[in-house]
Amino acid sequence: MTGPDLVAADTVERAAATAGQPQPYAELGLKQDEYEKILAILGRRPTAAELALYSVMWSEHCSYKSSKVHLRQFAEKAPPSGALLAGIGHNAGVVDIGQGYAVTFKIESHNHPSYVEPHQGAATGVGGIVRDILAMGARPIAVMDALRFGPAAAPDTARVLPGVVSGISFYGNCLGLPNIGGELDFDACYAGNPLVNALCVGVMQHGDLQVAEAHGPGNKVILFGSATGPDGVGGASVLASATFGDASAESAAKRPSVQVGDPFTEKLLIECCLELFAGGLVTGIQDLGAAGVACATTELAAAGTGGMAVRLDEVPLRDATLGPPEILMSESQERMMAVVEPGRVAEFLAVCAKWDVRAAVVGEVTGTGRLVMTWHGEPVVDIPAATAADGPVYTRPLARPAAQDELAASDPAALPRPAGGAGLRADLLALLASPGLADKSWVTDQYDRYVRGDTVLATPEDAGLIRVDEATGLGIALATDGNGRYCRLDPYLGTQLALGEAYRNVAATGARPLAVTNCLNFGSPEDPAVMWQFAEAVRGLADGCAVLGVPVTGGNVSFYNQTGTTPIHPTPVIGVLGVHDDVRRRPGIGFPAGAGPAALVLLGRTEPEFGGSAWAYVCHGHLGGRPPMPDLEAERRLAGLLAAAAAAGLLAAAHDLSEGGLAVALAESCLRGGVGCTVQLSGQLSGQLSGSLAGDPFTALFSESAGRCVVALQPGADEAFASLCAEYEVPAQNIGATGGGSLTVTDCFSVPLDELGAGHVRTLPELFG
Amino acid sequence: MTFPGSLDDRDAARAVTAAGAEPVVLWHGDRGLKGVDAVILPGGFSYGDYLRCGAIARFAPVMSDLVPAARAGLPVLGICNGFQILCEAHLLPGALTRNAGLRFINRDLPLRVENARTAWTRAYAGGERIVVPLKSGEGAYAADPGTLADLEASGAVVLRYAADNPNGSAAAIAGVCNADGNVVGLMPHPEHAVDPLTGPSADGLGFFTSVLTGVAA
Amino acid sequence: MPRMIVEVMLKQEIHDPQGEAIASACHRLGFGQVRGVRQGKRFEVELDGPADEAAVTAITQLARELLSNPVIEDFTLHADGT
Amino acid sequence: MPRMIVEVMLKQEIHDPQGEAIASACHRLGFGQVRGVRQGKRFEVELDGPADEAAVTAITQLARELLSNPVIEDFTLHADGT
Ligand SMILES: Nc1ncnc2c1ncn2[C@@H]1O[C@H](COP(=O)(O)OP(=O)(O)O)[C@@H](O)[C@H]1O
Ligand SMILES: [Mg+2]
């Protein structure tokens, strides 16, 4: 066997001498023209290590080559925002929330790994996004997870879902981060393509912001955290077989594509990094994510003075048989790379030692503009760093598919509606018991929502709410939303609906929405129909953010979510962050117990809008027509009203209306508070824009018109609230009052709370044990 | 007392402050107890809980000071992972094993205070019902039948799950104490029930005020 | 009572953070001769009938489908006492 | 590389929810001949030196103090391949 030091490294010298030797670029996912570009950049063939590096850096995942031309709109159309301290292009965006605090948050996908190995895939997804937040200089304070699976009753869902949930639970709980919310939905389009999107949010003081830049020639480059192993380098096997001969090809064939999470090491890494930041020992820092050392070194170098010299043989290894390409591509978790002034290296290493974190000086910053890597003294990489960091950019063809018209023509207005009170009652119970709308405790009980002691609201509330400052009550609210059905019908409007819903969820706590993150889950960008969906979604989001006055601060794109030629529904997941001036004044969704009856007011306008609705899907298996029409100006006024009413202490409860409409929202508020309500659907509307809901209880109960919310008022708040509604021009309708032990719709139906909750609570435990 | 992987340490410190006492940070790698009047071992995942919960933490340097002090009467409260550490260190009988459902459980639960005479439960009435969150994956209390019988006979069961038994604990035991009642271990987290803003109730505060009455005396 | 033993270990090439944490605990406790630890699972499967060939076939299938995760783990099995 | 194997099982009188859950899953999957399952741990301890008597003594102590909890678990150990 060849020893580690003898692994036949493909050196720059050898590459220059064998300039014409064919390379396995196609197997590594590079197109011929991309390979030719590399040849042109280098003036010779790339070494195996260089080929590995370019192939991962120019992958869709790292280079955003198909999405870049569209994502630009987020900056171009961004509304003016005084709150943005760091925007797109950083590991995560940073927002000023006042009182000297800054918040950073981002959502990222780990879809494919979670399908292959659900527990570890989801766990490492959480680990990865937490490191992104940490790299900004912030202390991570909470996580969220947005999940989509195939049909709830499918055998493969029984394999994937429990594993994903246990992975998120394992990693997040062990890190000590409260899980404050997320999403769970099911649809056949996600069978084989589950979506696992993880969000992390962190807090810091303004001055604590860190940068991912390697400046100052002579500064040291330190790799710290876990040792580097063969994790996730399955793809490197073709390189090994092409360049190293048979023995190592055999061992390479065994390289795992599965990464294993080590949350304990990550917890130590977090505390270690925060102590390093506090000590001023770091001039630049980058987390190691998908493309490991390749990505961290090129991005740090390209963003700084451009040059770096790295000794790959100094990288601490868990497996001594790894060679340069594998070290560059390894996706071993729980690693970070820092740039440190030479005089501070000893202090840096001492802090690492205190936290039992392995650290090694692996190189220096240079002023050459070139990224040079050696292996036992021999150069194996010598490239202009910027060429790897700035990948190719494609303007992919896009085309609105013809089937889009057929879909729109399939109007849910033609579906048979429930007859009378009994029919409405039955449909409500069916909706509440459907997997997508059922009680999520089976999942969320596995997540720690209390740790750190600052969780004010968590699942199943509209938004998570975390206290940031104990003295003043300053806090942040966060919600994520995405509706694949709406987006399938119209990706532009569907994305705006998702944005509007997340925005409204944040507003329902009394917080002011400030900024947006997003995870764009789509099929193959090489399919013009998917590319059209993507372009529409991005345009919808950018336009929507401009209207709402909240900038996109970052996000992530996940393409290739498809089975064969069938893509998933376009599923942008939108996260909105808001600031709460006093978390003690937050209404929850639960109707108040123990108090007298509270007046119920429905805010917003209700139109007969059933395209993509939960009712059409659950009760008829139907998807067609047009999604509800978002009105983001109205959404903005509603948010203003809610913040003002919460601040004035007028709200006893607030719950936004979304899937399942008013009926489902009322049921959720009843069940959460353990208190019933009686509503009349004939009350007069204060706004002048829309007629009364009388005469059409079906639409009143199940329509999914956007921009609506139901609130329960504090005793005696009616007048003050009515005048606020007038001031913010929000249509408001008194629909009844809380109280009693059932959900009663006058002249229609009544359901005791026990019955209301029975199916709702039973669904997921019956499916998943 | 903070071990690598302790998580609810700042919450325990906050609860101590809320009770009117001064929290002092003890670090696993240091020796000595800094003259404190009582020690709380907080929740979390010490050393990742990779072997068995609490198994590695019990060998931390500071434990060689804590164990004799606890045997000599120092009030010690172990919460969740802290409870597991106290069992591993043989300061409390029994052990905590995997939850019956094999899943981590975070739920607000009604509990009954069975023994209101320990250093940490004096503020409660015997039989009092409180609501406190549980959050653990290995919280099923286990001991051999003889030990269980002794616990019941001697009143060493401090806390019991009052409605459903969420995790398959023997005799629905949620907390136990040693013979002198100065060392108490609880699976539920009273430090997360000291303020209704951030917890289900303020019912947990009594654990932290209880110990002060002994100290002040 | 006839019993089969199924042993499930992480594949060699899969990272085992638990084993690593245990190994470093061993060192702290003074067991310097421990070079590495890998942690796996052991199942004792009690059978209603004899541990014959049919049982081995069934338990092999069980080990593959339920007791181990073939993506990251390997298993071996034997009758108890062998 | 010399290795010792340490096997840790819950004591008979201690309830084993994992084993029970697996046994009932076996029945659901049609493995009716499975009467019961108990789940334990298996450690592969790689040694720097030979698996001689001194090593056995040391690893026995390690198994007793760290790898198992005597309150609820029993352990056995043997050199790999024996
Ligand atoms: N959908 C998106 N919307 C806005 N910004 C995005 C989106 N997708 C990616 N970005 C931004 O592009 C940059 C690169 O993303 P990525 O490579 O995923 O970062 P990282 O490697 O730190 O995870 C980040 O600033 C990220 O926020
Ligand atoms: Mg990053």
- ipTM of the modeled complex: 0.92
Residue A255's pLDDT is 65
Residue A90's pLDDT is 84
Which structural domain, as residue segments, surrounds residue B83?
A: 9-216
* Residue A89, ligand 1, Cβ within 6 A: yes
* Ligand 1, atom 18, residue with closest C-alpha: A556
Residue pLDDT, tens place only, B132-142: 999 999 999 99
Residue B3 lies in a domain: no
* Residue A299, ligand 1, Cβ within 6 A: no
Q: Are A226 and A358 a contacting pair, CB within 8 Å?
A: yes
Number of Cβ within a 10 Å radius of residue A18:
12
* Residue A104, ligand 1, Cβ within 6 A: no
What is the rounded distance in angstroms from the CA atom of residue B85 to the CA atom of residue B92? 9
Closest ligand to A93 CA? Answer: 1
**pTM (predicted TM-score):** 0.94
* Residue A300, ligand 1, Cβ within 6 A: no
Pairing of strands B39-41, A284-287: unpaired
Question: For the residues A409-434, what does the mean pLDDT come to?
Answer: 95
Cross-chain CB nearest to B97 (options D21, D66, D72):
D72
Closest ligand to A518 CA? Answer: 1
Residue A235: pLDDT band with limits 50, 70, 90: low
Instruction: Report the number of distinct structural domains present in chain B.
Output: 1
Residue A681's pLDDT is 86
**Disruptive mutation site among B49, B97, B136, B176 for chain D (greatest number of D CBs within 10 Å):** B97
Total length of chain D = 82
Q: Range with the lowest mean pLDDT among A247-256, A269-278, B187-196, C70-79?
A: A247-256
B17 touches chain A (CB under 8 A): no
Residue B217's pLDDT is 42
* Residue whose token pair is 């059932």: A742
C56 touches chain D (CB under 8 A): no
Residue B2 lies in a domain: no
Residue pLDDT, tens place only, A711-721: 999 999 999 99
Starting at the edge strand that comes first in sequence, how are the strands of the sheet with C73-79 ordered?
A: C73-79, C3-10, C34-47, D34-47, D3-10, D73-79
Tokens representing A222 are 């330190």
Closest ligand to A134 CA? Answer: 2
Atom in ligand 1 nearest the alpha carbon of residue A212: 22
- Would you give the DSSP letter of residue C64? I
Query: Alpha carbon A619 to chain centroid distance?
Result: 30
Residue pLDDT, tens place only, A462-516: 999 999 999 999 999 999 999 999 999 999 999 999 999 999 999 999 999 999 9
| Interval between CA A141 and ligand 2 midpoint (Å) | 17
Residue pLDDT, tens place only, A80-96: 888 888 888 888 899 99
Residue B202 lies in a domain: yes
Residues with Cβ within 8 Å of A28's Cβ and at least 6 positions away in sequence, in order, are: A51, A52, A55, A235, A238, A239
Q: Are B110 and B131 a contacting pair, CB within 8 Å?
A: yes
Atom in ligand 1 nearest the alpha carbon of residue A290: 21
D77 beta partners: D6
| Interval between CA A193 and ligand 1 midpoint (Å) | 21
Residue A251's pLDDT is 47
**Disruptive mutation site among D11, D12, D13, D15 for chain B (greatest number of B CBs within 10 Å):** D15
* Residue A125, ligand 1, Cβ within 6 A: no
Residue B95 half-sphere exposure toward CB, CA atoms < 13 A: 22
Residue pLDDT, tens place only, A538-555: 999 999 999 999 999 999
Q: Which of B53, B87, B177, B189 is catalytic?
A: B189
Contact C46 D35 (CB under 8 A): yes
**Disruptive mutation site among D4, D11, D42, D68 for chain C (greatest number of C CBs within 10 Å):** D42
Residue D32's pLDDT is 86
Residue A237's pLDDT is 53
Contact A258 C16 (CB under 8 A): no
Residue A38: pLDDT band with limits 50, 70, 90: very high
* Residue A555, ligand 1, Cβ within 6 A: yes
Question: Which residue type does A505 have?
Answer: N
Is A186's pLDDT higher than 70? yes
Query: Alpha carbon A436 to chain centroid distance?
Result: 19
Contact C25 B47 (CB under 8 A): yes
Residue A64 half-sphere exposure toward CB, CA atoms < 13 A: 17
B103 touches chain A (CB under 8 A): yes
- H helices, E strands: number in chain A: 27, 28
Is A240's pLDDT higher than 60? no
Closest ligand to A104 CA? Answer: 1
Is A663's pLDDT higher than 70? yes
Question: For the residues A399-403, what does the mean pLDDT come to?
Answer: 94
Question: For the residues A662-670, what does the mean pLDDT come to?
Answer: 98
Percentage of chain B modeled with pLDDT above 90:
97
Is A769's pLDDT higher than 70? yes
* Residue A520, ligand 1, Cβ within 6 A: yes
Closest chain B residue by Cα to residue A453: B11
Is A689's pLDDT higher than 60? no
Total length of chain B = 217
Which residues of chain C have a CB within 8 Å of the CB of A332? 15
Q: Are D17 and B98 a contacting pair, CB within 8 Å?
A: yes
Is A367's pLDDT higher than 60? yes
| Interval between CA A130 and ligand 2 midpoint (Å) | 9
Contact C14 A256 (CB under 8 A): yes
Q: Are A64 and A395 a contacting pair, CB within 8 Å?
A: no
* Residue whose token pair is 């009105």: A631
**Largest Cα–Cα distance of chain B, in whole Å?**
44
Question: For the residues A212-239, what does the mean pLDDT come to?
Answer: 86
Residue A88's pLDDT is 81
B48 touches chain A (CB under 8 A): yes
D21 touches chain B (CB under 8 A): yes
Three-class secondary structure of residue A285 per DSSP? strand
Contact A450 B199 (CB under 8 A): yes
Residue A353 lies in a domain: no
Residue A536: pLDDT band with limits 50, 70, 90: very high
User: Structural domain boundaries of chain D?
Assistant: 3-79
Residue D82: pLDDT band with limits 50, 70, 90: low
Which residues does chain C have with pLDDT short of 70? 82
Q: Are A467 and A454 a contacting pair, CB within 8 Å?
A: yes
Residue A611 lies in a domain: yes
Atom in ligand 1 nearest the alpha carbon of residue A519: 1
Residue A201 lies in a domain: no
Give me the DSSP letters along A516-563: EEEEEE-S-TTSHHHHHHHHHHHHHHHHHHHHHT--EEEEEEE---EE
What is the rounded distance in angstroms from the CA atom of residue A238 to the CA atom of residue A28? 8
Residue A594's pLDDT is 83
D10 touches chain B (CB under 8 A): yes
Atom in ligand 1 nearest the alpha carbon of residue A62: 17
Three-class secondary structure of residue A700 per DSSP? helix
Cα A414–Cα A419–Cα A421 angle in degrees, nearest 5? 135
* Ligand 1, atom 12, residue with closest C-alpha: A89
Residue A683's pLDDT is 52
What is the rounded distance in angstroms from the CA atom of residue A207 to the CA atom of residue A258? 38
CATH code at D3-79: 3.30.1280.10
What is the rounded distance in angstroms from the CA atom of residue A465 to the CA atom of residue A458? 7
Q: Which of A70, A90, A110, A580 is catalytic?
A: A110
Q: Are A109 and A521 a contacting pair, CB within 8 Å?
A: yes
Which structural domain, as residue segments, surrounds residue A626?
A: 587-769
Which residues of chain C have a CB within 8 Å of the CB of B48? 17-18, 21
Is B90 catalytic? The answer is no
**Helix, strand, coil share (%) of chain B residues, nearest 5:** 30, 20, 50
Which residues of chain B have a CB within 8 Å of the CB of D15? 97, 140, 142, 168, 170
Q: Are B120 and A461 a contacting pair, CB within 8 Å?
A: no
Question: For the residues A214-220, what does the mean pLDDT come to?
Answer: 96
Pairing of strands A378-384, B95-97: unpaired
* Residue A132, ligand 1, Cβ within 6 A: yes
| Interval between CA A554 and ligand 1 midpoint (Å) | 5
* Ligand 1, atom 6, residue with closest C-alpha: A555
Kindly compute the dihedral angle of the four CA atoms of residues A198, A199, A200, A206, in this order, to the nearest 10 degrees: 150
Residue A238's pLDDT is 55
* Residue A90, ligand 1, Cβ within 6 A: yes
| Interval between CA A354 and ligand 2 midpoint (Å) | 25
Ligand 1 pocket mutation, candidates A67, A88, A124, criterion most atoms within 8 A of CB: A88
Percentage of chain A modeled with pLDDT above 70:
94
Q: How many CB pairs under 8 A join B and D?
A: 42
Is A252's pLDDT higher than 60? no
Instruction: Report the number of distinct structural domains present in chain A.
Output: 1
Residue A147's pLDDT is 98
Residue A254: pLDDT band with limits 50, 70, 90: low
Is B191 catalytic? The answer is yes
Q: How many CB pairs under 8 A join A and B?
A: 84
What is the rounded distance in angstroms from the CA atom of residue A449 to the CA atom of residue B11? 13
* Residue A313, ligand 1, Cβ within 6 A: no
C71 touches chain B (CB under 8 A): no
At B103, which CATH number? 3.40.50.880
Residue B179 lies in a domain: yes
Residue B18: pLDDT band with limits 50, 70, 90: very high
